[in-house]
């Protein structure tokens, strides 16, 4: 589904990611872990097309998208739930969803909206409410819903659980599990490493902009030393 080959990227001349290679198979969930400043968000931003590429390539379903504009990537089937949610805070729940689905015909928009409301009944109850008046967990649900309006095949999620109450984290992971069951491929950046390891199939750990470790989630959990060094410490 997605392959990064020796990807180096950053912001103008600043380099944030150094020669990173990783791959996610269709329907698989990959957890991207690592301490603050490791380059996780920059990697996600590169996949969306929002960084300066210094080298290497990004392949999506076999197609080289390294220099494809961000809007085209959304059309190809990649959507982002950004760190900090970045909702349109003055717009209603309904209107935030409209923005996420703006490229689709009305009929599709209606179906997608119903899917989002079925996944997150709390959003359906609050559909006329202004985004800024939602709780943190509801805002995260809306950020996920907005991304789903684009009908992604690959969903990139940056810091799903950050700042959320445990109950809300549960609801967000439940939704993610339902999406995975529907065949969506997921790249998850998550500071709750235990949670991420329980959910993901594969794990990549980054430190200082480079890949420090990659393996299956089961392998990582089973190996205490690996867990402590790469995961427990972060």
Ligand X SMILES: Nc1ncnc2c1ncn2[C@@H]1O[C@H](COP(=O)(O)OP(=O)(O)O)[C@@H](O)[C@H]1O
Applying the rule CB under 5 A, the residues between 34 and 53 that interact with Mg ion are 40-41
**CA within 13 Å, CB half, 103:** 16
Distance in Å, CB of 42 to Mg ion, minimum: 8
Distance in Å, CB of 98 to Mg ion, minimum: 27
The site partner of 96 among ligand X, Mg ion, none (C-beta below 5 to 8 Å per kind) is: none
Distance in Å, CB of 8 to ligand X, minimum: 12
Distance in Å, CB of 78 to ligand X, minimum: 18
How many CB atoms neighbour CB 177 within 10 A?
A: 13
With respect to ligand X, which residue has the nearer C-beta, 38 or 142? 38
Query: What is the torsion angle, in degrees rounded to the nearest 10, for the CA atoms of residue 71, residue 89, residue 164 and residue 224?
Result: 20
DSSP annotation string for 150-214: T--SEEEEE-SSTT--HHHHHHHHHHHHHHHHTT-EEEEE-S-HHHHHHH-SEEEEEETTEEEEE
| Residue 202 is a binding residue for Mg ion (CB under 5 A) | no
Distance CA 117, CA 123 (A): 6
How many amino acids of this chain bind Mg ion (CB under 5 A)? Answer: 2
Kindly list the distances between the CA atom of residue 66 and the CA atoms of 57, 61, 142, 201, 216, in Å, as whole numbers in the listed order. Answer: 5, 13, 29, 25, 26
With respect to Mg ion, which residue has the nearer C-beta, 53 or 162? 162
Which residues of the shown chain bind ligand X in the complex (CB under 6 A)?
Answer: 11, 14, 16, 34, 36-42
With respect to ligand X, which residue has the nearer C-beta, 33 or 93? 33
With respect to ligand X, which residue has the nearer C-beta, 14 or 25? 14
The site partner of 16 among Mg ion, ligand X, none (C-beta below 5 to 8 Å per kind) is: ligand X
With respect to ligand X, which residue has the nearer C-beta, 9 or 154? 9
- Enumerate binding residues for Mg ion (CB under 5 A): 40-41
């Amino acid at each position: 589904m997605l392959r990064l080959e020796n990807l180096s990227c950053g912001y103008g001349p600043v380099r944030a990611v150094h020669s990173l290679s990783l791959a996610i198979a269709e329907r698989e969930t990959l957890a991207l872990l690592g301490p603050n400043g490791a380059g996780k968000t920059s990697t996600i931003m590169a996949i969306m097309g929002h960084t300066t590429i210094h080298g290497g390539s990004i392949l999506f379903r076999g197609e080289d998208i390294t220099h494809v504009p961000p809007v085209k990537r959304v059309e190809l089937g990649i959507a982002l739930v950004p760190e900090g949610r970045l909702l349109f805070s003055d717009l209603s729940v309904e209107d935030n969803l409209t923005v996420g689905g703006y490229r689709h015909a009305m009929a599709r928009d209606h179906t997608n909206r119903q899917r989002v409301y079925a996944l997150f009944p709390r959003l359906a109850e609050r559909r006329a409410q202004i985004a800024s008046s939602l709780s943190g967990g509801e805002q995260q649900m809306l950020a996920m819903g907005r991304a789903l309006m684009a009908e992604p095949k690959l969903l990139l999620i940056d810091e799903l659980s950050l700042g959320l109450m445990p109950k809300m984290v549960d609801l967000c992971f439940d939704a993610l599990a339902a999406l995975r069951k529907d065949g969506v491929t997921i790249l998850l950046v998550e500071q709750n490493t235990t949670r991420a390891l329980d959910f993901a199939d594969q794990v990549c750990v980054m430190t200082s902009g480079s890949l420090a470790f990659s393996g299956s989630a089961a392998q990582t959990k089973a190996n205490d030393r690996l867990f402590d060094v790469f995961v427990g410490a972060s």
